Structure 1
């Protein structure tokens, strides 16, 4: 009980900080609930549950909005919550990600510890925008080089997430969507259409006002007016007079995909030229909605069946990630086997990859994939299961139609079971 009391006191001491950041509403967690959770599964799980209450279950509402007669707040989406969770800076009442925040949001489960958000001044923002390189100086290290010297808006965050999941064949389609007048260039005004596309703001003034009102209540710090950002300066220059051609757009999308892929690879390679097959399995499964026990079973199969480690290079890993961006086309090819009720071998898998992408994957990569998903060891793959799990991986576990399962009692019970298994 002494440990439980210490856990309770720790949580209570954190409340003022978390309320100040708008992470929790001022709804006290019942003492009985805290005791039951802490006693059943340990102080660590109690903290995890308390944290999830604020981040995933309770709508994000600032303390100043919990006044009497305040109308019921609409629950923020998973992506809005994740943006708030990782965004580390604030300017003129709006919250923004830094380039480093964005990279962390797509490679980490949770942000690094910090005390509050940094409030930027006009001079800070101006200095950041001056340091933003032009398109001609863009590279696959753009976000890492900028680090915390830049700002990214919520709508740009959604745009960048879309970029990460686009196959190369989709780059032209994405560009043409921005090129509203069809002159093969995109200017700043056309690019800002994404403010309405991603925010789904109605065209009418009344509708737009209602949308802004909802945004200000659910995610009050998300921008409701246009502010120059690092991305806009990178694309259109300091004065916004430059234009974006398809080659520029293609290069940016390819560089961003390469940067995130390289970041994930380097996390496991530790400076070496390859990652192990087990590391590859960890990367593939860590963004999926498989529970801990299922992931452990998959990892165990890889360890048992691949006795001699060959290693997977960055180029081989990058090719697999590019293949995942073509998952929709691959699923169409796989349906032929599903309809015929035919199992999929490694050769047939490779043939489908080549048809969809124009290239084949390294044999060791395909073999590792099969060991992960071939539970009965018959040398064949269940393509529907593979595609469903890899779609979670591609979208890093944040597919919106699956988010309704988060925060449910069943999810909490599963968390309890997993925690008890590990003790």
Structure 2
């Protein structure tokens, strides 16, 4: 779904922007014939993202092996590796895969920079080199997966002092109750960021949500820059892309970075979007451009530009009737949300944790 959101000429949107270098993989210019091997590897990687355990996903998409602060060899992910582990269709570089890494010394690691990210990126706040351990990976994927409203509920539930802040013990109890995964007790760079170098500080809900929102922003920024540079082969020019090219090629109008960010913030409200569209169809009302604009502005609170809405209708309105087809649109949004399925949030587990906590509080 992400491919159609960026026009094939998106690199012309911001001519002043410099090409990302460093941690970004090199891409070939011009079209290249897609082989059976390419398709097989891509399908395997897509299945691996959804069906495999986090350890295997990390060991497949991580690309760096170097000494840690204790002098022991350890595997790390770059920010682009992290994105690649989440997004279907982004191929792992040739020669790298399961337990295959680039061996680098500490001096070279210090020179690694991801020019597609700002200096104040959340990745550099966690570590000066921007690299992620397995524990960091696990924690960040969990943060991207869970809806914000459940974190707000969890903070209210496990705030034992009633001051709106959680200790590291409170946070571990919350995550263990939700995920039933003891690995979240392992100390990561995220813990030090939240609770200080001695792990004795308190974490406010405001700081937690700001961290999560900046993480989402940085991941989308990486995705935007990679998609903008991704070449398209003849085999990938489907009927959808032909419709987009036919409509927008004359005006050279693509998707800006702000529009890209807004759209994927909109997607994160999928349950609300699906409910609103269902009510429209049950009432016999058509989903026009104005109706979708109303849903984004009023119901979801993430306004979409008129151009993005026009692109959505170009993609999903195959009969050119001016009416949005609900099934195809919702299915595409679901596909986007399932990219973190291997650590998906279980609401039933949260309710069970709430009941357990309430019982313990009554007993005390």
* Bucket of the pairwise TM-score, normalised by the shorter protein: 0.5 to 0.7
Q: Where does residue 300 of structure 1 map in the other structure?
A: 242
The equivalences for 1:263-342 within 5 A come to 263-269=222-228, 296-306=238-248, 307-342=250-285
Q: Where does residue 109 of structure 1 map in the other structure?
A: 90
Equivalent of 1:232 in 188, 191, 194 = 191
Q: Where does structure 2 lack aligned partners over 5 or more consecutive residues?
A: 1-32, 111-117, 345-364
TM-score, L = length of structure 2: 0.63
Is residue 2:152 matched to residue 1:172? yes
Distance 1:357 1:195, change over 3 A: closer
TM-score, L = length of structure 1: 0.56
Q: Where does residue 66 of structure 1 map in the other structure?
A: none
Distance 1:44 1:266, change over 3 A: closer
Equivalent of 2:180 in 166, 178, 200 = 200
How far the C-alpha of 1:176 sits from its partner, in A, is: 3.9
Equivalent of 1:45 in 12, 17, 36 = 36
Q: In 2, Cα distance between the equivalents of 1:309 and 1:104? A: 28
Q: In 1, Cα distance between the equivalents of 2:171 and 2:294? A: 38
* Secondary structure of 1:192 counterpart: helix
How far the C-alpha of 1:371 sits from its partner, in A, is: 0.2
Q: Which one has a bigger Cα radius of gyration?
A: 1
Distance 1:103 1:254, change over 3 A: same
Q: Where does residue 140 of structure 2 map in the other structure?
A: 160
Q: In 1, Cα distance between the equivalents of 2:316 and 2:120? A: 32
Distance 1:178 1:79, change over 3 A: farther
How far the C-alpha of 1:99 sits from its partner, in A, is: 4.6
Q: In 2, Cα distance between the equivalents of 1:337 and 1:159? A: 38
Deviations 1:123-172 (A, max 9, x none): x8xx99xxxxxxxxx98512157475544335x53442343356665552
Q: In 2, Cα distance between the equivalents of 1:56 and 1:93? A: 29
Q: In 1, Cα distance between the equivalents of 2:179 and 2:130? A: 25
Check whether the contact 1:236–1:244 (CA below 8 A) recurs between aligned residues: yes
Distance 1:179 1:84, change over 3 A: farther
The equivalences for 1:38-77 within 5 A come to 44-46=35-37, 49=40, 56=47, 77=52
Check whether the contact 1:175–1:249 (CA below 8 A) recurs between aligned residues: no
Distance 1:331 1:380, change over 3 A: same
Deviations 1:293-312 (A, max 9, x none): 7x722111111233423333
Equivalent of 1:348 in 265, 275, 291 = 291
Is residue 2:198 matched to residue 1:259? no
Q: Where does structure 1 lack aligned partners over 5 or more consecutive residues?
A: 1-41, 58-74, 129-137, 202-207, 209-223, 271-278, 283-291, 403-423
Q: In 2, Cα distance between the equivalents of 1:230 and 1:239? A: 12
Q: In 2, Cα distance between the equivalents of 1:120 and 1:190? A: 38
Q: In 2, Cα distance between the equivalents of 1:139 and 1:245? A: 24
Q: In 2, Cα distance between the equivalents of 1:182 and 1:50? A: 51
Distance 1:169 1:319, change over 3 A: farther
Check whether the contact 1:346–1:366 (CA below 8 A) recurs between aligned residues: yes
* Secondary structure of 1:312 counterpart: coil
How far the C-alpha of 1:177 sits from its partner, in A, is: 5.8
Q: Where does residue 384 of structure 1 map in the other structure?
A: 327
How far the C-alpha of 1:386 sits from its partner, in A, is: 0.6
* Secondary structure of 2:323 counterpart: coil
Check whether the contact 1:184–1:245 (CA below 8 A) recurs between aligned residues: yes
- Structure number with higher relative contact order (C-alpha < 8 Å, ≥ 6 residues apart): 2
Q: Where does residue 5 of structure 2 map in the other structure?
A: none
Check whether the contact 2:175–2:184 (CA below 8 A) recurs between aligned residues: no
Q: In 2, Cα distance between the equivalents of 1:86 and 1:228? A: 22
Check whether the contact 1:99–1:144 (CA below 8 A) recurs between aligned residues: no
Check whether the contact 2:286–2:324 (CA below 8 A) recurs between aligned residues: yes
Of stretches 159-168 and 335-344 in structure 1, the one that deviates more from structure 2 is 159-168
Distance 1:55 1:303, change over 3 A: closer
Equivalent pairs counted in the alignment come to 288
Deviations 1:218-251 (A, max 9, x none): xxxxxx6954321111111221111111121121
* Secondary structure of 1:116 counterpart: coil
Q: In 1, Cα distance between the equivalents of 2:75 and 2:175? A: 15
